Amino acid sequence: MGTLLIRAGHVYDGVADRATEKGFVALDGDTIAAVGRQADLGSDTAARYEQVIDLGDGATVLPGLINMHTHMSFTGGDNVFHDAVNDTDTVRMIRIVENLRASLLSGVTTVRDCGTLPHLALPVRDSVERGLLPGPRIVASGAITSTGGHCFYCATEVDDEASMRKAVRAHAKRGVDFIKLFSTGGNLTPGTNSLEAQFTEREMCAATEEARRLGRRTSSHAHGTPGVRNSIKARVTTIEHCSFQTAKGIGWEEDLAAEVADSGIFVCHTIFRGVGKHANDPGFDFTANHERYLAVLKERQGLTRRLADKGVRLVAGNDAGVSYCGFADFPGDLVLTAEGCGFSAAEVLRSATSVAADALGRPELGVLAPGKVADLLAVEGNPLADIHDIERTRMVVARGKVVRAAA
């Protein structure tokens, strides 16, 4: 890979509120060597770098995006459950490879996978790390649900404290990066109850106790309030969705929200457009279920805003692979998050870069600074000034290698 100098009108480090004007990023192999202003480069720039890419004054370079909630083997279509239950492993693997390709080309250089069977996820993760397969780096889960529970088709099923501990230990033995707990039912799995807890508080605490002992972080899928409460008691690293859902819809629990904030638990809000992508498509047949989804989406946007106002640290993940959520959709879903939740562009971009890296416990990711990994996204325009520009991909660099050439 050698040395590479990238110049652009704006360079955003993933931390600040503003970008550096007329900046540069210098790479040495798969590592960032320097970040700064072009005026400080000197007159012998061309001689000091094996390759120089000048993106022009109209472009912005920022850290590669981190999608904190994906399901690599899911279809993203209108019948995800049927496909997940009936697909062969061969078909699942083909889909994983294609989903990773789409994700990488959109500017996502890291995905946290929240539910793919380890015998599929781990070989793909390792192949990407070894350079055998192009794709974003993968943070792979060992998922655990109750018997017949939400996402039973991509998780280990357990029913008591002892089997919970054994499942965590088995996943760690396989080499997963973190433990994913399906604390409540979910809408994607018929026959489960998203309003109620699938595990007791003791079972949840057993899981997180084992995970911490084995050096693994934990993530908890929680829609209904009982699942959120158990997740807090168990001191998980992240809560996915955190919907405070009741029979009447998306709720709010002031005391529990304060506990989430005070405990330092991150929330991955999983805001995504879904069928909303087709709002201007006259050929798309909107059903009553689709309309209900859009109504709930607005409620969840309001909830996400309230969580932020309460001091909860939010990370961005769009549940890629579930119904009508493709792996190339993440940049557009960041736009929706900014506009629908009332966040600044900088807040949303940090949630998909530096803050996401904090939640992963991966300080080498999510920031443009010397010594960090060379994962970069270049877009036309300045997404800090207009968040829509995050969709105008110009170039993607993963591990120091240009995987989508400058347009």
CATH number at residue 302: 3.20.20.140
> DSSP letter at 320?
B
- Which pTM value belongs to this model? 0.98
Residues 44 and 113 in one domain: no
Q: Answer yes or no: do 27 and 83 share one domain.
A: no
Distance between CA atoms of residues 187 and 153, nearest Å: 14
Cα–Cα distance for residue pair 218/236, rounded to 1 Å: 5
Residues 333, 255 within the same domain: yes
Q: What is the CATH number of the domain that holds 383?
A: 2.30.40.10
163 Cβ partners below 8 Å, 6+ apart? Answer: none
How many domains is the chain partitioned into structurally? 2
175 φψ region: left (φ > 0), alpha (ψ -120 to 50), beta (else)? left
Considering the domain architecture, whether residues 56 and 70 belong to the same structural domain is answered as no
- What pLDDT does residue 1 have? 72
* Residue 200 sits in the same domain as residue 294: yes
Q: Both 148 and 12 in a single domain?
A: no
Residues across the chain: 407
- Asked if 228 and 314 sit in the same domain, the reply is yes
What is the rounded distance in angstroms from the CA atom of residue 402 to the CA atom of residue 407? 12
Say if residue 91 is in the same domain as residue 59: no
Give the C-alpha separation, 270 to 303, whole Å: 12
- Residue keyed to tokens 């409620």: 299
Could you tell me if 217 and 291 lie in one domain? yes
What is the reported pLDDT for 407?
74
Residue 296 burial (C-beta neighbours within 10 Å; 0-12, 13-18, 19+): middle
Say yes or no: 81 and 196 in one domain. yes
Show the domain range for 390: 3-63+367-404
Listed residue (176, 270, 174) closest to 221, CA to CA = 270
SS (H, E, C) 164-232: HHHHHHHHHHHCCCEEEEECECCCCCCCCCCCCECCCHHHHHHHHHHHHHCCCEEEEEEEEHHHHHHHH
Q: Are residues 171 and 289 in the same domain?
A: yes
Residue of 242, 214, 247, 215 whose CA lies nearest to 227: 242
> Mean pLDDT per 10-residue run, the chain (407 residues)?
94 97 98 96 84 97 98 96 97 98 98 98 98 97 98 98 98 98 97 98 98 98 98 98 95 98 98 94 91 96 98 98 98 98 98 98 98 98 98 98 90
Is the domain of 59 the same as that of 72? no
Cα pseudo-dihedral 244, 250, 251, 254, rounded to 10: 60
pLDDT at 237: 99
Q: Residue 349's closest CA among 6, 10, 13?
A: 13
